A and B are shown apart, each in its own frame.
Chain A
Amino acid sequence: MRLELDPAPSLGKTLLTYLAFLLLTLLLLGGLFALYGVPPLRAYGVLLSPLADPLGLAEIARRTIPLLLIGAGLTLAFRVGFFNIGAEGQLLLGAVGAAYAALFLPAGPWTLPLMFLLGGALGGLWAGVAAWLRVRFGANEILTTLMQNYLAYYLVVYLVAGPWKGQFVFGFLYTDRFPEVARLPRLGDTLVHWPTLLLGVGAALGLQLLLFRTPLGFSWRVLGENPSAARYLGLKEGRFLALAALASGALSGLAGVGEVAGIHQRLLEPAQISLGYGFTAILAAWLARGRPGLVLLTAPLLGLILVGGDALKLAYSMPFRVVDVVAGLLLLGLVGAEALARHRLVWRR
């Protein structure tokens, strides 16, 4: 018995494989919950409970916003072959840019657009460094972007504990609250800062169009699928790679602007600005299979897992980080399913 490449897997088989692996993952997770003294079915009920009430839905929407922006950009970057694992750092740089514009530049009706502009630019710059290092010196971008995450983390820690520490915050490590003009409007009493949500939807749809309906998108796809063909066509590999990297960095930066301008209204410690959105969004991007538009589905799904993790924490005092276990196992299961679906079992040697 061995695995062989299946050139044309049928839809039914693909779906069945995914379903089988999903069940396997859920069973594994259920075992984990049971070990923890929580009945698995009840745990799944709690995990899905946010879907049942409006407040839960609003929470999902709030978590979806950064995942959508970052996920759309990462889908593009991964497709082109730039493995940006540094969205978390780019998000933090975006938050830094937003805070600078909000606190230190003259306030006015232009403040919010300026925050997005500066935050996006800084996020793009942060990814651009890794792109430049890869194109110019051949530095592995997985490792450089990972290292830049730590650097961004320490930059924010330094700023909120040092030069930008608020005058009115006593012992806390954050800046003063942003002025009124630097706060994003929200939907009713929820934390859904809708302008950023619109940006996210626009980014996903825009990148989808760009990728599949324009010459630029064609070049990107060729580069991602067949770099040697791209060189044969005379494409400037480095330029297209850098452009995709910049776009994904800028979108992560915008996500950072949204978090500080829409939710916290100040710059604070990195772990409070982001719940690891930059890493969770890697899943959103991977699940979207190279189609930025599909992030419109995958980002809310992961948003649900994040909010469900919160609910589990409240209901059974499980640590919030259980969401990473859920996400990690899910990803592993889907990776396995995806690979297996492309193969068939052959019953001979």
Chain B
Amino acid sequence: MSLDAAFLTALLLSTLRQTTPLLLTALGGMFSERSGVVNIALEGILLFGALTAAVVVERLEAALGPGPHPWLPWVGVLAAMGVGGLVAFVHALVSIKYRADQIISGTALNLLALGAPSLVLTYFYGNATSSKEVANRLPLWGPEGFQLSPLVYLAFLLVPLTWWVLFKTPFGLRLRAVGEHPEAADTLGVNVYRMRYTGVVLSGILAGLAGAYLAIGFLNQFVRGMSAGMGFIALAAMIFGKWHPVGILFSTLLFGFASALAIQLQGTEILPAVLVQAFPYVVTVLVLAGFIGRSRPPAAVGKPYEK
């Protein structure tokens, strides 16, 4: 193996593909935590989104015939975003309205996400591990030899967009205010609850989008446990990125690059397979431990607001 142009291109493409679901989820997590709600259910929402996209597209294919339907995967994407938002809404309801422990609520939803797919898969496909492959995946855009899913472009476009929303709009200012000092925001007439609902549901929509990318962009089916901790890694990347879109861009790129490098080196003599698989998790622990000493979360994160 040599470090030739083909290898570097493959590595770059792979990095962008690996970064996409992390970036989408981490940006989502940012909205939730900036509003003051910890959302560890994002891991489960990734799975729910992936399951929804794969099953919706496959079912529609079964009803309409396989023949190419360019619009069909987008229906799957929208459905995944909807389901993601819905699951996040449950988390919001439990942790904002009922002021329950956000970690426990997230754990409950993650447990559901472990169990629900096998029920749905058995119902439709008679096995508990994977869905039938779909014929209509998301398309690939870009010049010959450098083709990527539209969701990859979208994820990177969302970085400036979320930055603008968070720091240049009244909505962003209010969102950050309720995460830092809900009492003060409330006094100024900001509806704390509504802002928090919005932040959490946005995080679910983005994680659902990331799940759709996994199922019908990256692969063409749902596979049990396909998120493999990506939701948690995204949360670590969000912390490492200091709850800021640009920081999150670089931290998720780091994780994406680590995964891509490991994948590219897989099967070579350099790295045994098991080390390759463990690599992203080791990087996550190191990142959480080594560099983030001075990063500060939103002051009111994790605390229910009592009007």
Chain B residues 93-113 with CB under 8 Å of chain A are 94, 97-101, 103-105, 107-113
A328 cross-chain contacts in B, Cβ below 8 A: 108-116
Q: Complex formed: what's the CA distance from A136 to B239 in Å? A: 17
Chain A residues 105-154 with CB under 8 Å of chain B are 133, 136-140, 142-144, 146-148, 150-151, 154
Stretch at the interface among B19-27, B228-236, B263-271: B228-236
- Closest CB in chain B relative to A164 CB, distance in Å: 13
Q: Mark B171-198, 1 if CB is under 8 A from A, else 0.
A: 0000000000000000000000000000
Q: Mark B271-307, 1 if CB is under 8 A from A, else 0.
A: 0001001100110110011101100000000000011
B107 cross-chain contacts in A, Cβ below 8 A: 85, 279, 282, 331
Q: Which of these, B100, B115, B229, contacts A324 with CB under 8 Å?
A: B115
Q: Complex formed: what's the CA distance from A133 to B277 in Å? A: 22
Q: Does B246 contact A (CB under 8 A)?
A: no
- Closest CB in chain A relative to B17 CB, distance in Å: 20
Stretch at the interface among B71-79, B117-125, B148-156, B212-220: B117-125
**Which residue of the partner chain A has the closest CB to B232?**
A146
B94 adjacent to A335 (CB under 8 Å): yes
Q: Does B90 contact A (CB under 8 A)?
A: yes
A32 cross-chain contacts in B, Cβ below 8 A: 119
Q: Does B56 contact A (CB under 8 A)?
A: no
A339 adjacent to B40 (CB under 8 Å): no
Report, as a range, how many residues of chain B touch the other chain. 35 or more
B239 adjacent to A322 (CB under 8 Å): no
Q: Does B86 contact A (CB under 8 A)?
A: no
Q: Which of these, A35, A83, A322, contacts B103 with CB under 8 Å?
A: A83
- Closest CB in chain A relative to B304 CB, distance in Å: 9
Q: Complex formed: what's the CA distance from A158 to B114 in Å? A: 24
Q: Does A3 contact B (CB under 8 A)?
A: yes
The winner among A85, A137, A142, A286 for most chain B CB atoms within 10 A is A142
Q: Does A318 contact B (CB under 8 A)?
A: yes
A336 adjacent to B98 (CB under 8 Å): yes
A133 adjacent to B289 (CB under 8 Å): yes
A133 cross-chain contacts in B, Cβ below 8 A: 285, 288-289
**Which residue of the partner chain B has the closest CB to A285?**
B104
Quick one: given A319-B122, A332-B109, are A276 and B98 in contact (CB under 8 Å)?
no
A20 cross-chain contacts in B, Cβ below 8 A: none
**Which residue of the partner chain B has the closest CB to A83?**
B103
A3 cross-chain contacts in B, Cβ below 8 A: 97
A331 adjacent to B232 (CB under 8 Å): no
Q: Does B10 contact A (CB under 8 A)?
A: no
- Closest CB in chain B relative to A324 CB, distance in Å: 3
A340 adjacent to B306 (CB under 8 Å): no
Q: Does B12 contact A (CB under 8 A)?
A: no
B104 adjacent to A143 (CB under 8 Å): no
Q: Mark A219-235, 1 if CB is under 8 A from B, else 0.
A: 00000000000000000
A318 cross-chain contacts in B, Cβ below 8 A: 119, 122
B109 cross-chain contacts in A, Cβ below 8 A: 328, 332
A142 adjacent to B94 (CB under 8 Å): no
Q: Complex formed: what's the CA distance from A313 to B90 in Å? A: 28
**Which residue of the partner chain B has the closest CB to A143?**
B236
Q: Which of these, B94, B103, B114, B289, contacts A332 with CB under 8 Å?
A: B94
Q: Complex formed: what's the CA distance from A331 to B282 in Å? A: 31
B122 cross-chain contacts in A, Cβ below 8 A: 317-319
A335 adjacent to B97 (CB under 8 Å): no
B274 adjacent to A137 (CB under 8 Å): no
How many interface residues does A have (CB within 8 Å)?
A: 54
Q: Binding site of A, secondary structure by majority: helix, strand, loop or mixed? A: helix
A144 adjacent to B289 (CB under 8 Å): yes
The winner among A32, A143, A283, A320 for most chain B CB atoms within 10 A is A143
Q: Does B254 contact A (CB under 8 A)?
A: no
- Closest CB in chain B relative to A77 CB, distance in Å: 12
**Which residue of the partner chain B has the closest CB to A146?**
B232
Quick one: given A32-B119, A142-B40, A147-B281, are A339 and B94 in contact (CB under 8 Å)?
yes
B119 cross-chain contacts in A, Cβ below 8 A: 32, 36, 318-319, 321-322, 325
A148 cross-chain contacts in B, Cβ below 8 A: 281, 285
- Closest CB in chain B relative to A86 CB, distance in Å: 11
Q: Complex formed: what's the CA distance from A146 to B281 in Å? A: 9
Q: Does A16 contact B (CB under 8 A)?
A: no
Quick one: given A133-B289, A318-B122, are A335 and B284 in contact (CB under 8 Å)?
no
The winner among A146, A151, A155 for most chain B CB atoms within 10 A is A146
B111 adjacent to A147 (CB under 8 Å): no
- Closest CB in chain B relative to A6 CB, distance in Å: 12
B274 adjacent to A154 (CB under 8 Å): yes
Q: Does B135 contact A (CB under 8 A)?
A: no
B229 adjacent to A146 (CB under 8 Å): yes
Q: Complex formed: what's the CA distance from A35 to B90 in Å? A: 21
Q: Does B128 contact A (CB under 8 A)?
A: yes
Q: Does A304 contact B (CB under 8 A)?
A: no
Quick one: given A137-B290, A143-B288, are A327 and B111 in contact (CB under 8 Å)?
yes
- Closest CB in chain A relative to B274 CB, distance in Å: 4
A139 adjacent to B288 (CB under 8 Å): yes
Q: Does A345 contact B (CB under 8 A)?
A: no
A154 cross-chain contacts in B, Cβ below 8 A: 274, 277-278, 281
The winner among A3, A161, A162, A339 for most chain B CB atoms within 10 A is A339
A137 adjacent to B115 (CB under 8 Å): no
B115 cross-chain contacts in A, Cβ below 8 A: 321-328
Quick one: given A276-B114, A332-B105, A335-B108, are A319 and B128 in contact (CB under 8 Å)?
yes
Q: Complex formed: what's the CA distance from A161 to B290 in Å? A: 32
- Closest CB in chain A relative to B6 CB, distance in Å: 30
Q: Mark B65-85, 1 if CB is under 8 A from A, else 0.
A: 000000000000000000000
Closest 9 CB pairs of A and B: A324-B115, A328-B112, A339-B98, A328-B111, A325-B115, A319-B128, A319-B118, A321-B118, A331-B108
Q: A147-B285, A324-B111 are in contact. List 5 more A-B contacts (CB 8 A).
A: A36-B119, A286-B101, A321-B119, A329-B112, A332-B94
